[in-house]
Amino acid sequence: MMCRSLLLGAALLGVSLCGQVERLTDQYAVCAHVSRGELAIAADEFKVMKQAGIRWARTDFDWNGIERKKGEWHFNHLDKLMGIAEEHDINILPILVYHVEWAKPAWKHLDAWGEYVRQVVTRYGKKLRYWEVFNEPNLQGFWADEVSGENYTKMLKHTYEIIKSIDPDIQVLYGGVAGVPHKFIEDTFKAGAGAYFDIMNIHPYQWTSIPESMLPDFKRLQETMDKYGIANKPIWITEVGWSTAKPVTGYLGAYKAAFEYLGIKEGQYPLAELDDPFLGNCSQTNHASFRADHFTNRIAIGFDQLKDLDPAKYPVLLASSNETFAEDGIEPLKAYLNKGGVALFTRGLPFYYNIAKDEQGEKVRQYVGEAKLAQLHMAWDAWWTKKGLPEWETWQRPADEFKDKFEFKLLRGHAHGRFMVDRNLKGNDKLIPVIIGGDDTYQGNLMAIYKFDSDLKGAIIVCTTMRANECVPEDVQAAHLPRTYLLAFASGLKRVFWYNFRASESNPTEREDNFGIVHRDLSAKPSFIAYQTLSKLCPSGSTQPTMTRGKGVTLVNWTRPDGVKVWALWSERDKVQATIAWEGNLDNAVNYLGSPQELKPGKLIVTTRCIYLVGPTSVDLKY
């Protein structure tokens, strides 16, 4: 195997175009509901935040909590919050959000919205110097109307002009968009939004994938901003994170029943996961209970290995744990199926996005909808493509053929609104429902088996849920956290707000209740320790990190305010055998949780848990 080397020296620091070293400033931040249900414990939360080096808390300044009746303004709860935050030296990032019942959706009532903005910014603007204009305006549930980049721009412009009239030095944030929705963002730029914010803002969640999956979106966003002449504006992340909710057992039982239906005995075979080093597809970190319950172990394979995968050894392939697939992988997948293999698509609509390489060799994600599914005899319907389908079904249950095979009930937050159908079947192909759901007027297939008996053989199991598999174990959340921050900073982003600080833990299987880096009682989860470790090793005033990536390994370095260089290294997915050498003194080495590591020049196993090296002037990593 050809030797590949990652080498970064002292000269390769983050340097601006004018030659000045770029430095990070108060870069550590979290989301916390301290203006709502957590106000009573805000003081305790702020104390714990500071232990992790966190100086910023993002929270909602809800319109309907301030103007509870038309013309009646209530600020007591926010006055209290401001006093607590000032006492504990925590900066608040307020979000201007949502609507009141007499002005819904807000963008259609800009006079009323503008008065809310004027009231709240006038009251708190001298202390709060950053204001975010709406939360995830690209989601209909928050926007309360048909999503439109042009209409959001109207709100943004109106809000920006009011805030700047109050104080031109206040900084206005573009409303943090869910994901990095490039079309929505570009629609706002086309409508002139670039003139009406000071800081760009995204929420690049990666639900079932790894932090490195954010990088293509960062690059494309920066290119789009450059295209519209706003590349000089900073970019923040005001939400990102992974939930540690427990797997939903009903779905696990449904998979077991589906395997048994296809003659696959539990616990007798390993699971193959399509986990290409470049294109990705599955996350090793998800479905942990799913694998433990049903398979002896797992192997990760790339797209180039798929055509030769033997179903006799690996009767089940986890083809995708998200809605992406590579078009080039369709024919190899068909070859595997035609040998009798069973493929799993465990989250959302299969092949909804194509993943490919652009001219520069970078990963890009392209929307394709249902265009590729006919090649695999599958099809789907959803509320946004077919009139009359429920956006959120009101009931779910096992299909008749499986009604006594597993226990299942509709769980809060796990409605799908996506249904697999049979219109592309050929020959003697069958669609076998496993879980069905609907409302008073519609019934559809939420989880189904496509059993092929035509020009295509084998079977595919599809589960359209977007929520049941969107969770990771606590140690994986902790491993993802420093990688997320360092990748963002090395990409030029200035501040990252982790979502969120405290997990309510009201429902152990509900994604939203289990994002926090501390438990309900404010005791530390491993991710809190990881946060604390990172903030100590890369404090405010450190140089912008420099990053080199290759062969699934990332190496990042920066210089602390005291002049000491620090390095972080990790693998993206699997263990990588490497050799390491460095120049200068290695003062100490710790892992992502701050535990000391014995590190000597020579052989090294690089894992997904980052290791920090403090002191060397250069590091040479070969593999």
* Averaged pLDDT of the chain: 90
Model pLDDT, residue 468:
61
* Most confident range, picked from 75-84, 397-406, 416-425: 75-84
β-strand partners of 497: 29
β-strand partners of 568: 556, 612
CA distances from 542 to 23, 57, 215, 556, 564 (A): 5, 21, 22, 13, 10
Model pLDDT, residue 302:
84
Per-residue pLDDT for 111 more than 50?
yes
- Tell me the two tokens of residue 413: 């937050």
Instruction: Give pTM, 2 decimals.
Output: 0.84
Local confidence band at 602 (pLDDT 50, 70, 90 cut-offs): very high
Per-residue pLDDT for 69 more than 60?
yes
* Tens-place pLDDT, residues 119-137: 999 999 999 999 999 999 9
Model pLDDT, residue 285:
41
Q: What is the largest CA-CA distance in the chain?
A: 72
Q: Tokens 């990053």 belong to which residue?
A: 547
Per-residue pLDDT for 555 more than 70?
yes
Mean pLDDT value across residues 382-398: 89
Per-residue pLDDT for 408 more than 90?
no
Of 322-331, 419-428, 602-611, where does mean pLDDT reach its minimum?
322-331
Mean pLDDT value across residues 594-602: 95
Backbone torsions φ then ψ of 2, nearest 5 degrees: -65, 135
* Tens-place pLDDT, residues 337-366: 999 999 999 888 998 888 877 776 666 778
The distance of Cα 411 from the centroid of its chain, to the nearest Å, equals 22
Mean pLDDT value across residues 96-107: 97
Model pLDDT, residue 17:
44
d(CA 208, CA 221): 21
**CA–CA–CA angle 494, 497, 498 (5° rounding):** 135
- Residue with the larger pLDDT of the pair 2 and 288: 288
Model pLDDT, residue 243:
93
β-strand partners of 236: 201, 495
CA-based nearest residue to 462, from 427, 515, 412, 424: 424
d(CA 32, CA 16): 33
Model pLDDT, residue 1:
32
Percent of the chain with pLDDT over 90: 72
Question: To the nearest 10°, the Cα dihedral for 480, 485, 489, 492?
Answer: 80
Mean pLDDT value across residues 563-574: 92
- Tell me the two tokens of residue 372: 């590729």
Local confidence band at 78 (pLDDT 50, 70, 90 cut-offs): very high
Rg (the chain; Cα; Å):
25
* Most confident range, picked from 32-46, 275-289, 466-480: 32-46
The one-character DSSP state at 246 is: P
Type and span of the H or E element at 577: strand 576-583
Per-residue pLDDT for 535 more than 90?
yes
Percent of the chain with pLDDT over 70: 91
Model pLDDT, residue 283:
52
Model pLDDT, residue 446:
93
Local confidence band at 467 (pLDDT 50, 70, 90 cut-offs): low
- Tell me the two tokens of residue 353: 């996005």
d(CA 419, CA 380): 5
- Residue with the larger pLDDT of the pair 49 and 297: 49
Question: CB–CB of 56/95 below 8 Å?
Answer: no
Per-residue pLDDT for 296 more than 90?
no
CA distances from 392 to 15, 389, 439, 538, 587 (A): 49, 9, 8, 44, 55
- Residue with the larger pLDDT of the pair 253 and 315: 315
Strand-strand pairing, 235-240 and 430-438:
unpaired
Strand-strand pairing, 576-583 and 618-622:
antiparallel
Per-residue pLDDT for 325 more than 70?
yes
d(CA 465, CA 410): 12
Local confidence band at 50 (pLDDT 50, 70, 90 cut-offs): very high
Model pLDDT, residue 236:
98
HSE on the CB side for 42, CA within 13 Å? 30
Mean pLDDT value across residues 483-506: 97
Mean pLDDT value across residues 468-472: 74
CA-based nearest residue to 137, from 193, 98, 195: 98
Going from the N-terminus, what domains does the chain have, and what CATH number goes with each? 24-244+471-537 (3.20.20.80), 249-463 (3.40.50), 546-622 (2.60.40)
The length of the chain is 623
Residue 461 CB coordination number (10 Å): 25
The single-letter code of the amino acid at 190 is: K
Q: Which long-range contacts (CB under 8 A, 24 or more apart) does 571-575 make?
A: 571/606, 571/607, 571/608, 572/210, 572/212, 572/277, 572/608, 573/210, 573/275, 573/277, 573/284, 573/300, 573/608, 574/275, 574/284, 574/300, 574/608, 575/605, 575/606, 575/607
Per-residue pLDDT for 505 more than 90?
yes
CB neighbour list of residue 328: distance below 8 Å, 6 or more residues apart: 303, 356
Mean pLDDT value across residues 165-174: 98
